[in-house]
Chains A and B, each alone.
Chain A
Amino acid sequence: MRTRSAHAVLAAPARPRLLVARLTGEQFAVLLLGLLAMAAVLGLRGMERLADARTRHFQALARQAAVSPLPYGALIPAAGRPRPEGVHAVVRADAVARADEEALCVLARHTAASRDVAWVALSGRGPACAMVAAPVRPAGASADSLRRLAGAARWWIVGADGRALYSRREVPRPAELRRLLDALKGADEETMPVLAP
């Protein structure tokens, strides 16, 4: 009796301690599929969130491009209105992207003789062709406050009362700048010289 029971104990298969090892082939396949399905659902959720974020990013860029850097009517610090009176445009000669340097040089050439276009350099760096057009290099508190206010503005038009009428981030074409200046000065287009682009 004792011998048989000892034999029975020896013959019983060893029960694996790991759960995975106790699974049948079918159960293991379902487990793998379950994990795969979970990963697929999580991956899809991540992709959907990424797509939403990317869409919102481009929508935000479009909304940002819709607004001008200087709000209409904002009082421009003295450093940003080098002409003492009258409606005039102010163009930043510095801090330009390399791709825009050529456009800035074209603008500098075309506005060299314009009395209602002034150039300012708020930092020392800029293309030489534009920097020579900027005899006004404001410094001090007024320049600091202009730098803060102007932000990404490349150019702006100042009204006779020293307030911002118009501003943009992009380098304008000479004809565009002239058209806007004329509109804001109320000048008759036929009598004002229109510069070639």
Chain B
Amino acid sequence: MMRHAWKAAALLLAAVIALCAWRAVGTVRALARAPAAGERTGLGSAADRVLSLPRDHPLGRIALPGRAVVFAYSPDCAVCHANMANWIDIASHARASGMRLIAAAPVQTEDARRYWEPLGESVDVILSDTAMLARVLGVGGTPATLLVHDGVVRRVYDGALTPAARRQVMGFVARGVLPDS
């Protein structure tokens, strides 16, 4: 009886070792895939939010036909300041492609209005409020970048744009290509 117990214990331990080896293979793959995981960071989420707003509401300008990129920002948000270079990059490319650029702030202050002054007339600034931005665009915080096509929000990037996310937004701006989900 005791001999069988030892054999069972040996089998159990061998199974544990085999399980560890099997999981180690997956872990080695995860180690190898780590750089790719970095590449996917910040790629945003696919969305199909139809914007339904009366045309006379300021945010209704986002829903006009055609393609638009929306920058959700706050004038007192540090990450927005750090991300501004990405938005300026996008704006400088959009000048050639004729893409509509809209900056939407959840506050109606003078600082918010002046935030985009260096880019002159190339960005349409809309001052709204937090609840409205969250309800209409589904934006929970700033900064966020939204790709809009014919009044439908197709992609949302929360936070500062990573290099991979920037490439996707540039592709949308330059060629109208929506990133694959």
Chain A residues in the interface with B (C-beta under 8 A): 24, 26-27, 29-30, 33-34, 36-37, 40-41, 43-44, 47-48, 50-51, 54-55, 57-59, 61-63, 65-68, 71-74, 87, 159, 165-168, 179-180, 182-184, 186, 189
Bound CA span A166–B86, Å:
9
Which listed residue (A33, A47, A74, A184) contacts B17, Cβ 8 A? Answer: A33
List chain A residues, Cβ under 8 A from B93. Answer: 179
Bound CA span A26–B17, Å:
18
Which listed residue (B37, B118, B120, B163) contacts A65, Cβ 8 A? Answer: B163
Determine if B7 and A66 form an interchain contact, defined as CB atoms under 8 angstroms apart.
Answer: no
Bound CA span A159–B114, Å:
13
Determine if B30 and A168 form an interchain contact, defined as CB atoms under 8 angstroms apart.
Answer: no
Bound CA span A126–B24, Å:
47
Given contacts A58-B38, A66-B42, A186-B120, contact A44 B9 (CB under 8 A): no
| Contact code string B64-81 (vs A, CB < 8 Å = 1, else 0) | 000000000000001111
CB distance from A66 to the nearest CB of B (A): 4
Determine if B162 and A62 form an interchain contact, defined as CB atoms under 8 angstroms apart.
Answer: yes
CB distance from B119 to the nearest CB of A (A): 7
Determine if A184 and B10 form an interchain contact, defined as CB atoms under 8 angstroms apart.
Answer: no
CB distance from A194 to the nearest CB of B (A): 11
Bound CA span A167–B21, Å:
48
List chain B residues, Cβ under 8 A from A24. Answer: 6
List chain B residues, Cβ under 8 A from A47. Answer: 24, 27-28, 31
CB distance from A193 to the nearest CB of B (A): 16
Determine if A51 and B34 form an interchain contact, defined as CB atoms under 8 angstroms apart.
Answer: yes
| Contact code string B51-94 (vs A, CB < 8 Å = 1, else 0) | 00000000000000000000000000011111111101101110
Bound CA span A165–B118, Å:
8
- 29 of the cross-chain contacts (CB-CB < 8 Å) are A26-B3, A26-B10, A37-B16, A40-B16, A40-B21, A40-B24, A41-B20, A43-B24, A47-B27, A48-B30, A55-B30, A55-B37, A58-B35, A58-B41, A59-B37, A62-B42, A62-B162, A62-B163, A63-B162, A66-B83, A67-B82, A67-B83, A68-B83, A71-B82, A72-B84, A72-B85, A168-B85, A180-B92, A184-B118
Which listed residue (A55, A65, A165) contacts B34, Cβ 8 A? Answer: A55
Bound CA span A71–B81, Å:
5
Determine if A62 and B39 form an interchain contact, defined as CB atoms under 8 angstroms apart.
Answer: yes
Determine if A179 and B159 form an interchain contact, defined as CB atoms under 8 angstroms apart.
Answer: no
Q: Which residue of A lies closest to B38 (CB)?
A: A58
Determine if B89 and A180 form an interchain contact, defined as CB atoms under 8 angstroms apart.
Answer: yes
Determine if A37 and B20 form an interchain contact, defined as CB atoms under 8 angstroms apart.
Answer: yes
List chain A residues, Cβ under 8 A from B35. Answer: 58
Given contacts A47-B27, A159-B118, A166-B88, contact A66 B160 (CB under 8 A): yes
Bound CA span A59–B23, Å:
23
CB distance from B38 to the nearest CB of A (A): 3
CB distance from A28 to the nearest CB of B (A): 10
CB distance from A195 to the nearest CB of B (A): 15
List chain A residues, Cβ under 8 A from B91. Answer: 183
CB distance from A153 to the nearest CB of B (A): 10
Determine if B41 and A62 form an interchain contact, defined as CB atoms under 8 angstroms apart.
Answer: yes
List chain A residues, Cβ under 8 A from B39. Answer: 58, 62
Answer yes or no: B95 CB below 8 A from chain A CBs: yes
CB distance from B160 to the nearest CB of A (A): 4
Which listed residue (B13, B34, B96) contacts A34, Cβ 8 A? Answer: B13
